[in-house]
Amino acid sequence: MRTVKIAELSEKERRSPSGKFHTYFKEISVALGRDPDSTDELKQHPFDLSLYRVPPGASRCPYHVHSAQSELYLIVAGCATVRDEGGLTEVSAGEAFFFPPGEAHEIRNTGTEDLLYYVIADNTVGECCYYPDSDKWWVNDGRGVKVVKGKAVDYFVGEDEPS
């Protein structure tokens, strides 16, 4: 059995140029042995567990829809607004929600404290995402991840433009 102490895992950061998208995260499944760069199912786990911390006013990533991946969210601390195809929903600590493939979503920290939540996702080989607001695709071509809008573009193009 492999174990990890989540508090001791290193925290990674991802931030768009303006900070509209900003998150710190711990890849728990990777720490437990999942190989994130492999498409070999024997080196993957059947699901992925990550812990995200999002500063006030920020979102982890733009509004998007997965082609094949499901995601289960569990809010641990803070409050947020979840955007989905039905509109906006307020959520807070102790709430859980689920997005199946094909259901667009985004979660934004609308509180004054850091938003802390877990995401459990199934690891679907061949996964891609569509970003409706910027009309672009995130795809894995087998040699690496590409963000495409008629041609390869930066991940935040069309999402994080100056106001």
Q: Assign 56 to helix, strand or coil.
A: coil
Mean pLDDT of 109-133: 91
Residue 88: CATH number of its domain: 2.60.120.10
pTM above 0.85, yes or no: yes
Tell me how far apart the alpha carbons of residues 36 and 75 are, in angstroms, rounded to a whole number.
Answer: 24
In a domain, 159, yes or no: no
Total domain count, the chain = 1
In a domain, 161, yes or no: no
In a domain, 154, yes or no: no
The residue segments making up the domain with residue 112 are 9-125
Given this model, what pLDDT does residue 160 score?
83
**Nearest in space to 56 (alpha carbons), one of 116, 133, 131:** 116
Higher local confidence (pLDDT), 40 or 16? 16
135 — pLDDT class (breaks 50, 70, 90): very high
In a domain, 131, yes or no: no
Tell me how far apart the alpha carbons of residues 120 and 118 are, in angstroms, rounded to a whole number.
Answer: 7
Neighbours of 131 (CB within 10 A): 22
In a domain, 21, yes or no: yes
Mean pLDDT of 84-91: 97
Higher local confidence (pLDDT), 96 or 48? 96
